[in-house]
A and B are shown apart, each in its own frame.
Chain A
Amino acid sequence: MNTFMDKLESVLMPIADKLNNNRYLTALRDGFMIALPLIIFGSIFVVLANLPFLDQLIGEEAFTTYQEALGPASAATLSIMGAFVIIGIGTKLTQSYDIEGIYGGVAAFAAFLILTPQTLEEVSGVIPTSVLGAEGMFVGIFTAFIAAELYRFFVQKNLTIKMPAGVPEAVSRSFSALIPITLTLSVFLIVRIIFSYSPFDTVQNFIYTIIQEPLTALGSGLPATLVAVLLIQLFWFFGLHGQIIINSVFDPIWYALNDENLQAFQAGGELPNIVTKQFIDTFLVGMGGSGMTLAVVIGIFLIGRSRQLKELGKLGGPPGVFNVNEPIIFGLPIIMNPLALIPWLLAPVVVTMITYFAMASGIVPKPAGIIVPWTTPVGLSGFLATGNAWQGAVLQFFNMAVVFLIWWPFLKILDKSYYESEKKGEQTQAS
C-alpha cells in the first residue's frame, strides 16, 4: 500500500505544481478573485430581489417596482462579471512579469471590446451586456491572455516613449504605456477585420461555437463532473488543496454555466444547467468543506469514544460550520489514511449523483446562478443557491445523512483503534 501511495503522490505532486505555478492558470484564478467581491455583491441583490412570498405580501405591482429598484445592483456586477474577470486576468498576468498591471488590465478589456459586436438589432453605438456575461467568458479569457502577453512583449521590447527627467512620474508612466497599448490594440483591430470576412462574422461567435459550447456542454455533464470531483478528493487525500488545483481548470466552465442559469432565472425562464459553480460550491463543498466533513464531525460527536476524536470534534466543529475543514482533513487524519480513502472518495460521488438526479427530475430547483460565498453554512447556502428554495436546504441535509451513513462504519473502526491504543497507553503508564 505504501509504495503504491508513494507512487501516486509522485504523480500528483508534479501535476499540482504545474497547475498551480502555471502563469496563465494563476492569472486566471487571481483574476476571478478580483471579480469575486462584485459577483457576491450582485448575488446578494438577486437574492433580495427574489425573496419568497414577497410578491404575495406586498402585491404584484409593488413587487415589480421593488425588483426594478434593485435590478441595477446585479446588472452592474454579476451580469457583466466577464468585464471584471478580463480586467483582473489582464492585470494579474501583466503583473506576473513585474510590469505595472493596470495597463495590461485595461488593454485586455479594450481588446475584448474591439472584438465585440458593437451593434444590437441595428442600433449602433451599443455594447450588448450579454457578451460581458457567460457568452463572452471564454473569448474574454483568451483575449485577456493574449492582450496582456502582447502588451508585456512590447513593453519588454522597450518600445516606450522615454520622458526627459523632471516630468512627473505619473505622466511619464502613462506615456510609457502608449506605444505598447497602441500596438496591442491594433493587432486586435486587425483580427476583428479579418474575422468580419469569415463565416463566423465575429471572434465572439467563433470562440463561442468552436470552444465554449463544446467545452461547457462537456463540463455540464455528469461524467466530467464526477471526474472533477474524484480528482479534487484524490488531491486532498494526499494533503494537497484539491479545489484550488482543479478549479483553475474548471472555473471558467462552471462560471459560464452559472451565468447561463442566472440569466434564465432573472428572465423567469427554464434554468438550462444543473452543474454550475454553485452545484460544486454549495452541494459538495458547502457542507463542512471539501468531502462534506460536517457529517463526519457529527459522527464524531455521536460515536466518538477515543480522546483523539473527541478533541478533534471540538477543534474541527466550529470552523466546519463555515466549511473550513483542514483540522479534520489533517487531524482525523484523512490524508494518507487507507481507512478513510473509501468513504472519502465514495461519499462525494454518491452525493453528486443524488444532487444531479434530484435536480434533473425537478424535485429540487436547479442552482439559480447566484454566487453564495463558500463559507456560508449548510442549509442557508442550499436555500440561497437554488434561488430561495427550501428544497435546496433539505437536499443538503439529506445528503449530509448519506455522507454520515457512508462514513459510519469506517469512523467506528477508526475510533475503536484510537480508543484501544489510548487505553493501552494508560495501562502501560499505570503499571
Chain B
Amino acid sequence: MKQILLACSSGMSTSLLVKKMEEEAEKRGVDVKIWAVAQDKAAKELENADALLIGPQMRFMKKKYAKTAEELGTSLDVIDSVAYGRVDGKAVLNHALKLIDG
C-alpha cells in the first residue's frame, strides 16, 4: 500500500483534497492510504509516508522537510496550485504516484 501524506497550515484545506484523491484511487483500484496533517505534525508523520505533498501556500516549508525526507527516502513536492484550487484529486493523485514510482 502506498502512503501519501498531505500537509498545509492546519491540515484543513488539504483534507478537502484527501477525499477527492481517495475517490479517484478507489475508482482506479489503487491501494493507497492518504491523510492530511498540519505543518507542525508533518515532520513526525514523515516516516510513515512514501510521499509528502505540501499545499502551495506552504511551499516555503519545503526546505524544512527536505533533509528529513531525504534521510527517510520519502518523496517530497509542492502541489500544483491550479490542481489545488480545483481540488483536483485525479491530478494530485497522479502527481503523488509518479513521485513514489519515480
Using CB atoms and an 8 Å cutoff, list the residues of chain A in contact with chain B.
13, 16-17, 20-21, 26, 29-30, 33, 236, 239-241, 243-245, 311-312, 315, 319, 322, 324-333, 335, 375
Is the Cβ of B81 less than 8 Å from the Cβ of A240?
no
B13 contact set on A, CB distance < 8 A:
319, 324-327
Within the complex, which residue of A236, A240, A311, A326 is in contact with B59, where a contact is CB–CB below 8 Å?
Answer: A240
Binding site secondary structure of chain A: helix
Is the Cβ of B57 less than 8 Å from the Cβ of A21?
no
Among A16, A241, A315, A325: residue with most chain B CB under 10 A: A241
B87 contact set on A, CB distance < 8 A:
315, 327, 331
How many residues of chain B have a CB within 8 Å of chain A? 22
Is the Cβ of A21 less than 8 Å from the Cβ of B64?
yes
Assembled-state Cα–Cα distance A240/B86 (Å): 17
Assembled-state Cα–Cα distance A13/B58 (Å): 11
Assembled-state Cα–Cα distance A21/B67 (Å): 13
Assembled-state Cα–Cα distance A324/B61 (Å): 20
B39 contact set on A, CB distance < 8 A:
244
Binding site secondary structure of chain B: helix
Least Cβ distance of B15 to chain A in Å?
A: 9
Assembled-state Cα–Cα distance A243/B57 (Å): 10
Is the Cβ of A326 less than 8 Å from the Cβ of B40?
no
**14 A-B contact pairs sorted by A residue (CB < 8 Å):** A16-B60, A20-B60, A21-B60, A26-B40, A240-B59, A244-B39, A326-B57, A326-B85, A327-B85, A327-B86, A330-B82, A330-B85, A333-B81, A333-B82
Q: Is B16 an interface residue (CB 8 A)?
A: yes
Among B58, B60, B61: residue with most chain A CB under 10 A: B60
Is the Cβ of A21 less than 8 Å from the Cβ of B63?
yes
Q: Which residue of B lies closest to A244 (CB)?
A: B9
Is the Cβ of A324 less than 8 Å from the Cβ of B16?
yes
Q: Which residue of B lies closest to A336 (CB)?
A: B81
B41-85: which have CB < 8 Å to A? 55-61, 63-64, 81-82, 84-85
Least Cβ distance of B45 to chain A in Å?
A: 15
Assembled-state Cα–Cα distance A134/B68 (Å): 37
Given contacts A20-B60, A322-B12, A324-B13, 4 further A-B contacts (CB under 8 A): A20-B64, A245-B60, A319-B16, A330-B85
